Amino acid sequence: MTAEFVKYEVLGNSYVVVDVTVADLPADGSVARLVSDRNFGVGADGVIFGPYEQGGDVALRVFNPDGSECPGSGNGLSIFAHHVRRQGHVQRDRFTLRAASGPVDVRIVDLDEALVEVTLGRATTTRDTLAVDGRNVEITCVSVGTPHCVVLAPVAGREEVERQGRAMGTHPLFPQKTNVEFVSPVDRSAIRVEVWERGAGYTLASGAGACAAATAARALGLVEEDVTVLMPGGEVRVSVRPGNVVALRGTVREVVRGTFAEGFRARMKTAAAEAGSS
């Protein structure tokens, strides 16, 4: 039987793809919470449902482990692009994905090596000051389809990133919450980054976070157009092209594939039905 789900990771940032051409499951936050659970489910930083057909393109829906829907994830888009090409849902190496944030151009650089380039589009940046813990912090707000708050600060480790990231990401300035990146420049071609995600908390890596961090560093005149972003899970390449068009290049790794047990499938369908009736 063809796999109902495949779990992938990019630098330790993992997503479960629920292939809706095989699995009879609704794209729902309650289902995503169960699948994402690392103790009682498959375990992941998010769940992707697809492929769907939309205007001749391939569409997807991405959910965070807390059940909230994610407009777009850099690593999630890379993973899904590799999945649909490898599974034969798409027969070409250049195509467009449709996420909640809008259309995204992708290129399969090397299918066998699972190397994917995702062009997230034009990033926007604004400077601001955030009052946190009795001090004013200079921030760069970046939108790459998802919102990000980028802070120039030495990378301080998981505990501090979780504490400060939560304080900044849930600040009243961001009523819908925001993702937070802590950035420390290495040289003109590299930066170190740690990430707190609004729907997942601390993560080993984030594609969109890497793009936001590189965009902010470029706007501040700290780096060149092509940047290596070093995160706890590993490194990716980000290009901030003229007009602030941002592209992400990384390698996707498959972890496991399979079918859902009948009991677990029943729990997911019950959760989705209860969520729909509430």
pLDDT of residue 145: 87
pLDDT of residue 277: 57
- Does the pTM exceed 0.75? yes
- Domains in the chain with CATH codes: 5-114+253-277 (3.10.310.10), 122-249 (3.10.310.10)
pLDDT of residue 276: 77
Amino acid at 30: S
| Residue-level pLDDT, tens digit, the chain, 278 residues | 578 999 999 999 999 999 999 998 999 999 999 999 999 999 999 999 999 999 889 999 999 999 999 988 899 999 999 999 999 999 999 999 999 989 999 999 999 999 999 999 999 999 999 998 889 999 999 999 899 999 998 767 899 999 999 999 999 999 999 999 999 999 999 999 999 999 889 999 999 999 999 999 999 999 999 999 999 999 999 999 999 999 999 999 999 999 999 999 999 999 999 987 55
d(CA 106, CA 116): 7
Question: Which ranges constitute the DSSP H helices of 177-228?
Answer: 207-219
pLDDT of residue 16: 98
CA dihedral 79→144→66→253, nearest 10 degrees, is 20
pLDDT of residue 201: 92
Contact 36, 17 (CB under 8 A): no
d(CA 117, CA 91): 17
d(CA 76, CA 46): 8
pLDDT of residue 101: 87
Q: Other C-beta atoms within 10 Å of 273: how many? A: 13
Contact 165, 149 (CB under 8 A): no
